[in-house]
Structure 1
């Protein structure tokens, strides 16, 4: 796949650009489904070998963008080793609820001790007063490009800061794509008696390319956002290691759509390609409208994971009003579903050759009714055996794959993975709806996952695995 940069470095080129032709809805024909999470089963938490959702943030942090809120999960313990017992997640009626609340006074001492042990400064230890939750695919799935959708009702009340976003699956920041960020109330700065309905859309990036090179010191423009005949410049913020840029838009949902994000379920989506990033909004998947578009920055071209959370407080969201805690924390982040689609490979290779070799590009390798051996390389690949007793030879660190028609006669040959026995492989299998996932967490690197379409856990045995040393 050719990955073309769309950052525009010279504004004069676009002074005569025509207004953007807004699409009626995303073109789903260019994507393949990866995860359709409808929360119709107990929450699938990553436990080190299996599970979709990791319930703690990157780099094992308990605190996100600063106190006063703390991300908790059931593995956190008191000083005596017993469970802390604070869990913000509940699956009920086919929906996921992420709650937030003040830390009970009886638990605060243990929470402070836990933070000190984790190395937090005393100022942060003394500031934390609330707990909340964060879920991500850091340990199970990441991808470059694709389509991401959530249907949710967002928490109201000053202090809430709910978000659905993409961040690099490896350490480092930026880049970041915010599918949405919503404040329960805009810092309380407008003196309004009720929450507003504004949705914040962002992509944060460097001027540094994926290969580490630097762009010339020029202003970056969004050619899709034309005001008075001119493309709008990215927001620029200076920092020690160079400028950071942001393409940004804020949408007043009530004014634009006559909808309420705190009282109604709405659908938020984003499509990300090598050329552009498009944000979508609507009451459902069937009536999505484009609300913003930006070029894909040249450092937003690597694997990213999905994360969604509800932070409490911080400089942007503002602190909750303690006199209104009963109202503020009665409102939860309610998620009906999350859907992740990968961008389908543009290259499809169909052959009846006995051995099928792939390249480092994203590809769809399709075999015939005969028995064949598949050797994909790097990238996101779709593999279709086509029949016969096939062998899929997949190296560690070569990227995630989807196998469309794995059967009991096929063999998965794994080389250089972090596990090397059939028993280990079988213990890592996770049933995700009709599909079967084999997850290999590789933090701080991107996870590697194999998805077997329409395959049941009971159909896999030790005979379906073979292990070979790398090389």
Structure 2
């Protein structure tokens, strides 16, 4: 069935309508505004925002010779390996990359063998860099994601800001940007300078859940000679995979330099469409690509950003230019995550406020009430009185806007079951407090207490019901 929104979009494109000037932020609720004005909040198993190791403990990215490292990795004797790609300076995060020192190579190779890598991969590793994600702290379906960054130059760099499923499995994937480093300043023919690669990878699913035999999904926002363009099809062992893709030369289109300047990259993702944005700052963004939302790009996704070195696409660095190549780092000014504000808004004075499995905003009255949200992303506003919020494990992440000293959070089915443990898991994230429950391989479940300090919460604010 063809979506009405897609038909309207096609009509607008055919009529030559101008693209949207900027994202409509009234549709979104802020979740995470990370400006790197404090030490990096590393996930340590119970608290922290950023996980500094990839999914499924993969140290090697998309092929050799690049290795992702973090400060917790150790040598064979148990001492720290000492390779740390992360640095915060002047309110900006730097992710560095460099050749692995010869003195550390034997310990790195031992680490990879212990992790189960084949000997060929072990011998091919030459460089290290870093990856950060919210796999353990936050994921969401739909929303707005933005980064302001200056990207590393030099052949071999492959920097990216992307969304991937917070559960095991691939696709889907939304690449907010992928950029290959330029040839150490070379402006020769075929140079990838200032080109931003935009992608959404998906698995076209038929109505009965099977793989569709042909790439029937087309992009009504990309029309050539009056014909909407089909998705790119690639054959894989487990069936075909599909991609909507575009490469934008931002120097030609916007007179912007991505290696010499900070730029802003963003994606807005809704049930109907995905829109990519680019500009010098968040107040001056222009649409650079748009696709319909594929039917399997409708589950919780985590944020990830990283710099990889080498691989078939990026190419190997020139060893004679190592000093120049690795002096350039991936510099991130900020990362912002916004959730799509629930369309359902219910205000009630009922003693028991019953939720549904849809995303919703439940708002109470002045009296004491008990809230029973169910699945999905929910915003909860007590409204007054001594309120109780009953939240089951695996029921989705929630935002509580006005949690007070006499309110109670009643948890059931979580991975912990005591007030002191709940307090230990609290993380101060700007003006908010997060209670994180890592659920890997499932999506994490996190409660956000809006405009609260960790010291405002005590064990008396937590109640654990049977089963949790």
* TM-based fold match above 0.5: yes
The residue number in structure 2 matching 1:251 is 248
Pair 1:439-2:436 in alignment? yes
Q: Which runs of 4+ in 1 moved over 2 A?
A: 4-10, 13-21, 185-195, 208-220
Q: How does 1:8-87 map to 2 (within 5 A)?
A: 17-19=14-16, 21-87=18-84
Cα contact 2:13–2:221 (8 A) shared by 1? no
Gaps of 5+ in 2: none
Cα contact 2:134–2:304 (8 A) shared by 1? yes
Pair 1:117-2:147 in alignment? no
Change (3 A) 1:7 1:81: farther
Q: Secondary structure at the match of 1:285?
A: coil
Q: Quote the Cα distance in structure 2 between the aligned partners of 1:15 and 1:433.
A: 41
TM-score (norm 2): 0.96
Q: Quote the Cα distance in structure 1 between the aligned partners of 2:117 and 2:441.
A: 21
Q: Could you tell me how far 1:15 is from its partner in structure 2?
A: 12
Q: Quote the Cα distance in structure 2 between the aligned partners of 1:213 and 1:469.
A: 39
The residue number in structure 2 matching 1:406 is 403
Pair 1:279-2:276 in alignment? yes
Cα contact 2:399–2:450 (8 A) shared by 1? yes
Q: Quote the Cα distance in structure 1 between the aligned partners of 2:341 and 2:207.
A: 22
Cα contact 1:14–1:231 (8 A) shared by 2? no
Q: Secondary structure at the match of 1:157?
A: coil
Cα contact 1:376–1:393 (8 A) shared by 2? yes
Cα contact 1:187–1:317 (8 A) shared by 2? no
Q: Could you tell me how far 1:48 is from its partner in structure 2?
A: 0.1
Q: Quote the Cα distance in structure 2 between the aligned partners of 1:268 and 1:456.
A: 31
Change (3 A) 1:210 1:64: farther
Cα contact 2:398–2:447 (8 A) shared by 1? yes
| 2:195 alignment partner, one of 198, 213, 222 | 198
Q: Quote the Cα distance in structure 2 between the aligned partners of 1:365 and 1:215.
A: 39
Q: Quote the Cα distance in structure 1 between the aligned partners of 2:449 and 2:373.
A: 15
TM-score (norm 1): 0.95
Change (3 A) 1:439 1:292: same
The residue number in structure 2 matching 1:236 is 233
Q: Quote the Cα distance in structure 2 between the aligned partners of 1:144 and 1:214.
A: 22
Pair 1:179-2:142 in alignment? no
Change (3 A) 1:9 1:44: closer
Change (3 A) 1:356 1:182: same
Q: How does 1:307-456 map to 2 (within 5 A)?
A: 307-456=304-453
Q: Quote the Cα distance in structure 2 between the aligned partners of 1:241 and 1:186.
A: 36
Q: Secondary structure at the match of 2:283?
A: helix
Q: Quote the Cα distance in structure 1 between the aligned partners of 2:217 and 2:191.
A: 37
| 1:214 alignment partner, one of 192, 204, 211 | 211
The residue number in structure 1 matching 2:92 is 95
Aligned-pair Cα RMSD in Å: 2.2
Q: Could you tell me how far 1:345 is from its partner in structure 2?
A: 0.2
Gaps of 5+ in 1: none
Q: Secondary structure at the match of 1:424?
A: helix
Q: Quote the Cα distance in structure 1 between the aligned partners of 2:425 and 2:208.
A: 34
| 1:170 alignment partner, one of 150, 167, 170 | 167
Q: Quote the Cα distance in structure 1 between the aligned partners of 2:39 and 2:130.
A: 16
Cα contact 1:15–1:230 (8 A) shared by 2? no
Q: Quote the Cα distance in structure 2 between the aligned partners of 1:289 and 1:106.
A: 48
The residue number in structure 1 matching 2:144 is 147
Q: Could you tell me how far 1:230 is from its partner in structure 2?
A: 1.1
Q: Could you tell me how far 1:243 is from its partner in structure 2?
A: 1.0
Q: Secondary structure at the match of 1:85?
A: coil
Change (3 A) 1:9 1:188: farther
